[in-house]
Structure 1
């Protein structure tokens, strides 16, 4: 694929030898400098699909390090919706950049402003690539700890989450700081000052092009999509169990008892932080070793939990959809939807936690169906699986769940 030898050395360190479908599609297009919307199914290797060509571009156009005294001014920026994802993608970026001599830095919030400055100034100075969450990046830009004037490329990863109400405002502010220039001509060789933008996701919200259109000429973006986009992975077994609310707990405990110790790890999805906590207490009572992950935990608590789950400290993780987006879960072989997800997008992301690139077994998904509004989603899922077609309505914006008053 014409990538620099230093990047190939980094790939060897990650034990990656063959490109996946999305990597074969994206790497040549992004190496040509095009801004792009890159849509591919979860677990298909999107992180390397964007990092490899964009890092290749930085290596082929070396620049002197930024002024040590001024604000941090990276040449590459990856915006991610959670600190867990920032840590995970950061580890991959670091493995690729180490042989090439490029420095990588992560920036996440949850602390005082001094913490942001420390993260950006940590030695060695002058990181070429920065990964960060929207809130932390916006704060660093406002305080002039960070400048985007030298930015060659910017990636918006897990686009549907970044466009959600929580992040939309800080994201727009970050875009406003980058040299994107509305209506500027396409990239025209080394003298071109405009930033290459790559938007990545398994699902794209409808408002995406309007938001980007305020800052850059979206008509010039190339769209890269794999054939399996929005399709349920055919190799993952999916089972729906119709039951009353009070029967969910005994059913779950039975499932966990029946799950073989050698059968990989288990993810249990709940729709709220309070259900995660409640279920955790019950599992404690039943002496089932597990970890919990939900958005109301402190940033410091969350930081270590997913890492220790990946290390294998516990074989069960009870979580909200915080764990359904982008996180690498190749050891997971069973996903249980204790609460049925609110939208088809959420279902697709949760299913994507099993049967991933690098997984040893295809895995299975068991969903508890208790409400009548869940049944409608189940029908759509079953039809799409039977006909091998994509799930309907995936290009719409993140839909509000139906009213649960009924």
Structure 2
């Protein structure tokens, strides 16, 4: 069983599992909220070796007696820090208690908060810990900031679009309303653009995700729904139109570029109110976010 916090990540993970397992006779099923529960129940009458999904939907299937987790010997939790947030943790503990005694539990996370440690101490005996943070988290991503007034942000974005060699970009805002407003502005500027956020219906989100992944548009404006685990190798630029409030969110956002050994570029628009937050995030992550130069060497983010 592979547990993930978002529907988009579930779809991506199941696609990878199916690709890896296609010559091994492995049957994988993905199940998330926002899709037909009846269809999922019918599919579980067939052989399923690997179940990928969000905690709420898999709990529904277990409670209805159609997903027998007592035979589940391996539980993988991707984005474990998010899965063990107050929103999900009670469900996670119920699901783990449904699985086989002696099951193997694997936790994957870019950050390691107290909640992950507490869960590890409670459910995992003598675990192995593999720490790749220093090697991978910021490797290959060049980070810059531009001081701007709020009213100048759209103009700044337009300038970046004209000067940067963008393959695909993801642009982050701090609210759903700002996502939709900015996407409209980007379209008005004449650039191809989609947007995605958690308040959209699932079918629409799936369509946007797949079309962006397939290169139907160059720019995607989004909320923090899209920060975790989404791997699109063609994204080489991430722009924080709104600077995040904490280092964890910053880390997950800029990690959308520079995937799979590719180079990436992170541009942060910083207002007067953001200046102390910028310094704090630099200190917490042990990284340097430099002032944006007049010209950014394309060799820093194009490979």
Using structure 2 for the length normalisation, give the TM-score.
0.88
User: What is the aligned residue count?
Assistant: 287
Following the alignment from structure 1 to structure 2, what is the Cα–Cα distance between the partners of residues 120 and 314? Answer: 36
Counterpart contact for 2:170–2:238, Cα < 8 Å: yes
Task: Find 2:201's aligned residue among 277, 298, 303.
Answer: 298
> Does residue 364 of the first structure (1) align with residue 265 of the second (2)?
yes
Following the alignment from structure 1 to structure 2, what is the Cα–Cα distance between the partners of residues 109 and 118? Answer: 16
Where 1:84 maps in the other structure, the secondary structure is helix
RMSD: 2.0
Deviation string 1:305-361 (CA, Å, 9 cap, x unpaired) is 1111110000000011111111112101111000101110111111111111153xx
Following the alignment from structure 1 to structure 2, what is the Cα–Cα distance between the partners of residues 368 and 88? Answer: 30
Task: Find 1:310's aligned residue among 186, 200, 213.
Answer: 213
> Does residue 246 of the first structure (1) align with residue 170 of the second (2)?
no
Following the alignment from structure 1 to structure 2, what is the Cα–Cα distance between the partners of residues 130 and 280? Answer: 35
> Does residue 376 of the first structure (1) align with residue 284 of the second (2)?
no
Aligned to 1:82: 6
C-alpha deviation, 1:381, in angstroms: 4.4
Counterpart contact for 1:78–1:154, Cα < 8 Å: yes
Gaps of 5+ in 1: 1-76, 181-193, 388-406
> Does residue 283 of the first structure (1) align with residue 189 of the second (2)?
no
Counterpart contact for 2:11–2:30, Cα < 8 Å: yes
Task: Find 1:169's aligned residue among 90, 100, 103.
Answer: 90
Gaps of 5+ in 2: 290-303
Deviation string 1:250-291 (CA, Å, 9 cap, x unpaired) is 11122123334xx31011001111111111122232232111
Following the alignment from structure 2 to structure 1, what is the Cα–Cα distance between the partners of residues 40 and 87? Answer: 20
> Does residue 322 of the first structure (1) align with residue 225 of the second (2)?
yes
Aligned to 2:118: 210
For residues 38-117 of structure 1, the aligned pairs below 5 Å read 77-117=1-41
Q: Which has the larger radius of gyration?
A: 1
Following the alignment from structure 1 to structure 2, what is the Cα–Cα distance between the partners of residues 108 and 333? Answer: 29
Deviation string 1:127-152 (CA, Å, 9 cap, x unpaired) is 11110111111111111111111112
Describe the shift of the 1:227–1:364 C-alpha distance in structure 2 as closer, same or farther (beyond 3 A): closer
Aligned to 1:228: 134
Aligned to 1:403: none
Where 1:207 maps in the other structure, the secondary structure is helix
Aligned to 2:81: 160
Following the alignment from structure 2 to structure 1, what is the Cα–Cα distance between the partners of residues 66 and 217? Answer: 39
